[in-house]
Structure 1
Amino acid sequence: MNSLPLVIFDCDGVLVDSERLVQDIDMRMIGGLGWNITRQEILEQHLGRSEDAVMANIARRIGRPVPEDFPQCRRSAYEQDFKDHLKEVSGVRQAVQELHGVGHDTCVASSGSHATMRLTLGKTGLRTLFEGRIFSADEVAHGKPAPDLFLHAAEQMGYRPERCVVVEDSPSGVAAALSAGMAVVGYSALTPEVAYTSVGSVGLTHLRLGLLLALVLLEDVFDFFAGLF
């Protein structure tokens, strides 16, 4: 087994710069259902959650079931906008390559479907960095903030939870990782740092340098605790 921690990346907002596009579409489409949702409400109630959880929350807020075709229309709007405008998060490609260069294993664990990640990671050219190591909430019973997805990814990669570091941009993802017994690095390009440092994580804003520095600190912690047993 690799003696270095496994680094598990969330996808949307961490690898691909999709959150701005998603928020614009959701404000327009959910607003059309009668809830004039704000960016702050999206952050607090939807960021990092599965589609089923989001649809259930919308239904609660508007007081009726979401139209049957709404999820597919929303996915189609995402797909078109991603094809036209999606980019990778600045610095992330170099961060992943440097992690591989020093010996870290990496994978992706996202609330998004495999179909969505084929589009987003394929469009940005990041898929080749993670081929065969991409895990979706579709594979587990409970999505974030439950720990199931991260535990599944760690098991498939052959790592114990305490030997994993998760890079997340959502409070629900941070909570999921901590519940799984994993260290967490919070990426705060769009998410206010207070939103997840209050849950518990190491925060960073510049992905490449911040990630590597945070991992150095976390490896020192791992080494310290390993010496106690």
Structure 2
Amino acid sequence: MAHDLIIFDLDGTLVDSETLANRVFYEKLVTLGLDPAFDLMRVTRDFTGLTVAKCLTLARDAYGLSDIPNGFEAELKEATYASYRAALAPIPGVPAMLEQLRQLKCVASSSAPEKIAFSLELTGLSVHFGDNLFSVHHVAEAKPAPDVFLYAAEKMGGFPPAACAVVEDSLPGATAGIRAGMTVFAYRPDGDGDAFAAMGCHVFHDMGDLPALLG
């Protein structure tokens, strides 16, 4: 079916930021004494799709890093932005895909509002979204709760869930879309989409295929 509103996740869906951000986060945690058992692969798997606040809670509760200094989040933001300035790029195929889409579209992300705008501007994608940018910072509960997607649909014109498609790459984000009652398209470039398909997502592997899938 055709969809009237397309709601995009940001990190790992529109911009190739997760590898950069997770490496910076991991390196910062190492300076705090992170146990070697929690390597970059583990941190990447655990943190993908979560807010910084949830990542910090996980670091304290599951990684045993109880002594995280007050200025840590500000330092992390500064280092992450520096990494983005040096290397952030759109996900392959995203610019051409966005040019093809005729539907109304917006971004709904776990990132902070200023980080969403910064990432889109840096990669040249902001022209496709304007001010239609929404963050979990605007709602009560972060992904995997459906709040940010329902909020975006309401702010974009009161679209019912059935008229909305969500494009996501993470399990927390896909879960949020399903809980919102929206159709979820899961971008899985490496092909590992079984968990997403099992929850009812439409799995795809190439951004060039998305316009036809969205109808």
TM-score, normalisation: structure 2 = 0.91
The 1:42–1:198 alpha-carbon spacing in structure 2 relative to 1, beyond 3 Å, is farther
* Corresponding residue number in structure 1 for 2:8: 9
* Corresponding residue number in structure 2 for 1:227: none
* Corresponding residue number in structure 1 for 2:50: 49
One-letter identity of the residue aligned with 1:5:
D
Matched-pair contact (CA < 8 Å) for 1:170–1:191? no
Matched, 1:18 2:17: yes
Matched, 1:93 2:83: no
Gaps of 5+ in 1: 217-229
One-letter identity of the residue aligned with 2:153:
A
Higher helix share: 1
Offset at residue 166 of structure 1 (A): 0.4
* Corresponding residue number in structure 2 for 1:149: 148
Offset at residue 32 of structure 1 (A): 2.5
Structure 1 distance, partners of 2:57, 2:45, is: 15
**1:75-125 Cα deviation digits (max 9, x unpaired):** 11110000111111111111112112xxx1110000001111121111111
* Corresponding residue number in structure 2 for 1:105: 104
Aligned length, in residue pairs: 210
Gaps of 5+ in 2: none
The 1:213–1:160 alpha-carbon spacing in structure 2 relative to 1, beyond 3 Å, is same
Offset at residue 201 of structure 1 (A): 0.9
TM-score, normalisation: structure 1 = 0.85
Question: What is the DSSP-based 3-state SS (H/G/I as helix, E as strand, rest coil) of the residue aligned with 2:16?
Answer: coil
Q: Could you tell which deviates more after superposition, 85-94 or 171-180?
A: 85-94
Structure 1 distance, partners of 2:165, 2:126, is: 20
Q: Could you tell which deviates more after superposition, 124-133 or 197-206?
A: 197-206
Percentage of identical aligned residues: 31
Structure 1 distance, partners of 2:196, 2:35, is: 25
Structure 2 distance, partners of 1:48, 1:179, is: 16
State how 1:1-229 maps to structure 2 within 5 Å.
4-33=3-32, 34-36=34-36, 37-60=38-61, 61-100=63-102, 104-158=103-157, 159-189=159-189, 192-209=192-209, 211-216=210-215
* Corresponding residue number in structure 2 for 1:225: none
**1:38-83 Cα deviation digits (max 9, x unpaired):** 3443344211111111111111121514221111111111100001
One-letter identity of the residue aligned with 2:64:
I
Kindly report the root-mean-square deviation, in angstroms, between the aligned alpha carbons of the 2 structures: 1.8
Offset at residue 143 of structure 1 (A): 0.6
Question: What is the DSSP-based 3-state SS (H/G/I as helix, E as strand, rest coil) of the residue aligned with 2:141?
Answer: coil
Offset at residue 191 of structure 1 (A): 8.0
Question: What is the DSSP-based 3-state SS (H/G/I as helix, E as strand, rest coil) of the residue aligned with 1:62?
Answer: coil
One-letter identity of the residue aligned with 2:199:
V
Offset at residue 195 of structure 1 (A): 4.4
Structure 1 distance, partners of 2:48, 2:101, is: 26
